[in-house]
Amino acid sequence: GQQLNQSPQSMFIQEGEDVSMNCTSSSIFNTWLWYKQDPGEGPVLLIALYKAGELTSNGRLTAQFGITRKDSFLNISASIPSDVGIYFCAGSYMDSNYQLIWGAGTKLIIKP
Amino acid sequence: DGGITQSPKYLFRKEGQNVTLSCEQNLNHDAMYWYRQDPGQGLRLIYYSQIVNDFQKGDIAEGYSVSREKKESFPLTVTSAQKNPTAFYLCASRIRQGRNQPQHFGDGTRLSIL
């Protein structure tokens, strides 16, 4: 099945640093979603985006729906230890009956 | 509390055995999904159901079966035909009405081979 290109695959950061990750697709999407997964748990929705150009924040997290509708990014400001985990992007388009297409994830690791 | 409950948390399968993973939701969601997650990969769709008594194959349905007899329940059976069943299995659900509502997930079942 189709996958999104999500990068980077992993990130080693210092506490307090800002983080940026993105997803790109060859298809035009009408929805972008960002999830976070902790070990041994299910993904939790962070931000949902429905309109090209939309910029949405959730606390220290900010995500944008790209103007071309083929990409999205997620920023985390002033990272803290509980930000550690795997972040997934997912997109859908109307012709797919709103089934989600998933990125492979970005693993965020805090340097000791 | 409203939510999606998956059970068991851990499951072991013997060779040639069928096992069934439970997924129950009390969110009154219409659609339900089963995903498989392998290390370093995104989620892959096994089966999904938009309404009761109806379901469709996802990208990797071979070796799996489902039923949707009740709105709140969507069990997944991993059959003996699935030769590499070791993975983390995730169930999700969503509302169908209105704009494209996001999927919400249970906490998963980890299946291993004995």
Q: Supply the DSSP symbol for A50.
A: -
CB atoms within 10 A of CB B2: 9
**Interchain contact, B108 vs A41, CB within 8 Å:** yes
Quickly state the pLDDT bin for A2 (edges 50, 70, 90).
low
Geometric angle at alpha carbon B106, from A72 and B91, rounded to 5°? 80
pLDDT tens digits, one per residue of A78-92: 999 999 999 999 998
The shortest C-alpha distance from B50 to chain A (Å) reads 10
The answer on pLDDT for A1 being more than 90 is no
pLDDT of residue A96: 63
Quickly state the pLDDT bin for B52 (edges 50, 70, 90).
very high
Quickly state the pLDDT bin for A97 (edges 50, 70, 90).
low
| Cα dihedral A62→A35→A30→B38 (10° resolution) | 140
The answer on pLDDT for B40 being more than 90 is no
pLDDT tens digits, one per residue of A56-75: 999 999 999 999 999 999 99
With contacts defined as CB-CB under 8 Å, which chain A residues touch B44?
1, 102
Higher pLDDT, A92 or B61: B61
| Average pLDDT rounded to a whole number, residues B40-54 | 92
Higher pLDDT, A1 or A21: A21
Q: Which of residues 50-79 of A touch B (CB under 8 A)?
A: 50
Q: Which two tokens stand for residue A107?
A: 């693993």
Q: State which H helix or E strand residue A28 sits in.
A: none
> Quick one: B21 exposed, middle or buried, by C-beta within 10 A (0-12, 13-18, 19+)?
buried
On the question of a cis peptide bond just before residue B8, with omega within 30 degrees of 0, the verdict is yes
| Pairs of residues, one from chain A and one from chain B, whose beta carbons lie less than 8 Å apart | 59
| Average pLDDT rounded to a whole number, residues B56-72 | 96
Q: Which residues contact A14 (CB under 8 A, 6 or more apart)?
A: A79, A110, A111
CB atoms within 10 A of CB B14: 9
With contacts defined as CB-CB under 8 Å, which chain A residues touch B103?
33, 45, 100
pLDDT of residue A95: 64
Quickly state the pLDDT bin for B1 (edges 50, 70, 90).
low
pLDDT of residue B16: 86
Quickly state the pLDDT bin for B98 (edges 50, 70, 90).
low
Instruction: Establish if A112 touches chain B: CB-CB under 8 angstroms.
Output: no
Q: Which two tokens stand for residue A92?
A: 């859908």
The answer on pLDDT for A109 being more than 70 is yes
| Average pLDDT rounded to a whole number, residues A2-21 | 92
Hey, of A38, A94, A102, A107, which one would you mutate to test binding to chain B, going by the most B CBs within 10 A of its CB? A102
pLDDT of residue B113: 87
**Interchain contact, A44 vs B103, CB within 8 Å:** no
Quickly state the pLDDT bin for B91 (edges 50, 70, 90).
very high
The shortest C-alpha distance from B88 to chain A (Å) reads 8
Nearest CA in chain B to A32: B102
Q: Which residues contact B21 (CB under 8 A, 6 or more apart)?
A: B6, B7, B8, B11, B34, B75, B76, B77, B78, B89, B91, B109, B111
What does the alpha-carbon distance between residue B27 and residue B1 come to, in Å, rounded to a whole number? 9
Max Cα–Cα distance, chain B, nearest Å: 45
